[in-house]
Amino acid sequence: MSKRPDLRYERRLWKLGIDAVAGVDEAGVGPMAGPVIAAAVVFAPEIFISGVHDSKQLTHERREELFTSIRDRAIAVGVGIAEVNEIDRLNIYWATMSASRRALSALNLAPGHVLVDGRLIAGLQLPQTRIVGGDRKSFCIAAASIVAKVTRDRMMVDLDAIYPGYGFAQHKGYCTSEHMQSLAKLGPSPIHRRSFWPVAACAQRPLF
């Protein structure tokens, strides 16, 4: 098995005459603050960008470089967002499903098939295939993971300026020891997920 994403899954679909294959992945399922972001990416057949990999395997600098290459060479890129209030209202699973459907709806074309990392997208009215560990196997899913991660990281940097003191620009909302300490000291901000237990435990002391 290949140790890096390749085109094997896409080529199976291209051989069936399905040219528009969308890869979908998300970023921000685990953090206790900030939105969850999904991305959908479609490339023309046989387009391949060397270095594209699961976003978690790449440095910040390399992700930024590849993000630009993906945006330049893809024929369609869509991003979907589920904000904190939706995460708290629906739960993180259903909010992620909503963000994934929105990413596909944001494409400027209708894909003939969707390759998705990990689990099927509930409520999607398109043919789809789930690939466990897809961001390490499928090129278009790996590209989507980079777009989702870079988009979310940039949003968290912007949110750090709006809600200073929590370190969002550094930890991006994940449950680091520094984040836990700032949460205990300051109480939850408006972008903390109050349905997540560490935030719920501090919710009696809101800062804003």
Question: Which are the contacts of 182, defined by CB distance < 8 A and separation ≥ 6?
Answer: 165, 166, 167
Task: List, for residues 173-202, the tens digit of each pLDDT value.
Answer: 999 999 999 999 999 999 999 999 889 888
- Beta partners for 80? 38
For residue 14, is pLDDT > 50? yes
Question: Which are the contacts of 154, defined by CB distance < 8 A and separation ≥ 6?
Answer: none
Q: What is the pLDDT of residue 147?
A: 98
* Antiparallel, parallel or unpaired: β 76-82 and 113-117: unpaired
Provide, rounded to the nearest whole percent, the portion of the chain with pLDDT above 70. Answer: 96
Q: What is the pLDDT of residue 204?
A: 57
**Summary mean pLDDT of the chain:** 94
Residue that the structure tokens 């870079």 belong to? 150
For residue 79, is pLDDT > 90? yes
- Beta partners for 117? 131
Domain assignments of the chain as residue spans, ordered by start: 8-201
Task: List, for residues 130-173, the tens digit of each pLDDT value.
Answer: 999 999 999 999 999 999 999 999 999 999 999 999 999 999 99
- Beta partners for 138? 6
Burial class (CB in 10 A: 0-12, 13-18, 19+), 3: exposed
* Antiparallel, parallel or unpaired: β 36-42 and 21-27: antiparallel
**Looking at the domain that runs over 8-201, which CATH code has it been given?**
3.30.420.10
